[in-house]
Amino acid sequence: MKPASTQLKNLDHFNAFLHVPNEPLVSLSSGRLAGITVAVKDNIAVEGMPLTCGSKLLGNFISPYNATAVAQILDVGAAIVGKTNMDEFGMGSSCEYSAFGHVLNPLDHTRVPGGSSGGSAAAVAAGLCDVALGSDTGGSVRQPAAFCGVYGFKPTYGRISRYGLVAFASSLDQVGILSADLNKLIEVAENICGYDINDNTTSRKPIPKWSTDLEKNVQGLRIGVPQEYLDGIEEKECRQVVDNAIEQLKAGGATCESISLPLTPHVLPTYYIINTAEASSNLSRFDGGRFGNRTPANRFHDMVTASRDHGFGEEVKRRILLGTYVLSKGYYDQYFDKATKVRMLIRNEFMHHFSDGIDLLLTPTTPTRAFRFGEKSKPLTMYGSDRFTAAASLAGLPAISVPMPVDGLLAGVQLIAPHFREDLIFRSCRYLSYY
């Protein structure tokens, strides 16, 4: 009989995995998550395994330590089965920007799996693992989950340690969890959320026992459906799933009401100024001198330039250029400073509804279902895929994409809760569960 790792590789027709260890990594044979198989996005550190971030620049880099989330998963007996493919450094919405080839959507091979955690979503959708870790900066867990028909959860900013997650935009980045099985997702969340001395943005708030203590109804919940999000839908199926979800929630005793988030048109410009600014700063560490691949040159400056030029793909270069621009003297006030102020207004707009008694927001996760390869080759068209997910990231709110069947494919609906109210999300998800 072949070892599990070889079987996994043979089954991966989707290019979902970039690295598979000879044997699944396990540090305990018992524990709460014993027997659960977990795939890890290739921007999250697993000791002794490659950590490429989908980039040529880090093609030869081996991680010297475990990310906190990875260590916590191993500590409760789960098995790590491999590292998953992704858009380079987390920048993208289709996995077409990986330096190591496209990932196919297991539901339809002509379509993208979404991004940037497309490998994690495809691995889970294809049944190659029970759960996958991803990272979500503006939607990178929720959007691929919607495209591949699985759950994709991003916690409140500060719930899960970012130690060992390669930074893209630090004020937005969160580790997220994908699974076709809501209960397994919740179990993993319970084990990896919490304070970490190695990440001073993590919260000391206690982690509720979500897996056992959740109420089993949505009775009395007030759910707001933002009109601007419905207006931004491009494919009617994405509207249909929201309508189906409203019906289900109402049947469970919740009330659903139309609300307005007038700043919605400003979400994407704000998100793309902040993420590029932070990325340009975070990615300056990749200079060919300390990490990854070096392109030799006679002078230091030429070595740095050549290493970055050969190592980074087009989209990463575009973000670094944009980010450097919005931070530069003369443009800082006009772009970056303004964006941080608008970010606060966007956050306040959500807080206003929550303090008004709205418990949860319900939106489509994406404007369209999974699109075809090459369909969104213009950067601005691609950026449009984040239209419904970026606001929760800017506001630091917890959110999940819930898979809903529609006309042979699947689409996602998104639930957004107040800070640290993941319980409301998980509770409501049970009413919308497809699996």
Residues annotated catalytic, as ranges: 41, 116, 140
* Cα of 55 vs its chain's centroid, Å: 18
Q: Which residue has the tokens 């069947």?
A: 405
Minimum distance from residue 315 beta carbon to ligand GLN (Å): 8
Task: Report the residue number, 95 or 411, with the smaller CB distance to ligand GLN.
Answer: 95
Binding of residue 43 to ligand GLN (CB under 6 A): no
Minimum distance from residue 108 beta carbon to ligand GLN (Å): 20
Radius of gyration over every alpha carbon of the chain, rounded to an integer in angstroms: 20
Which member of 55, 66, 85, 140 binds ligand GLN (CB under 6 A)?
140
| CA gap 224, 347 in Å, rounded | 16
Binding to ligand GLN (CB under 6 A) within 258-287 occurs at: 275
Binding of residue 91 to ligand GLN (CB under 6 A): yes
Which member of 106, 113, 118, 138 binds ligand GLN (CB under 6 A)?
138
Binding of residue 418 to ligand GLN (CB under 6 A): no
Binding of residue 367 to ligand GLN (CB under 6 A): no
Binding of residue 136 to ligand GLN (CB under 6 A): yes
Tokens of 172: 């937005």
Tokens of 16: 């979902």
Binding of residue 94 to ligand GLN (CB under 6 A): no
Instruction: Count residues binding ligand GLN (CB under 6 A).
Output: 14
The DSSP call for residue 108 is B
Helices (H), 92-251: 118-125, 142-148, 182-192, 210-213, 227-231, 236-251
- Give residue number: closest CB to ligand GLN: 140
Binding of residue 116 to ligand GLN (CB under 6 A): yes
Minimum distance from residue 99 beta carbon to ligand GLN (Å): 16
Tokens of 67: 């990310």
Minimum distance from residue 93 beta carbon to ligand GLN (Å): 4
- Long-range Cβ contact pairs of 211-214 (< 8 A, separation 24 or more): 211/183, 211/186, 211/187, 214/423, 214/426, 214/427, 214/430
Q: Give the angle 50-137-324 at the CA atoms, nearest 5°.
A: 90
Residues 6+ apart with CB under 8 A from 255: 221, 222, 223
Binding to ligand GLN (CB under 6 A) within 160-199 occurs at: 168
Task: Report the residue number, 390 or 411, with the smaller CB distance to ligand GLN.
Answer: 390
Positions touching ligand GLN (CB under 6 A) are: 90-93, 116, 135-140, 168, 275, 386
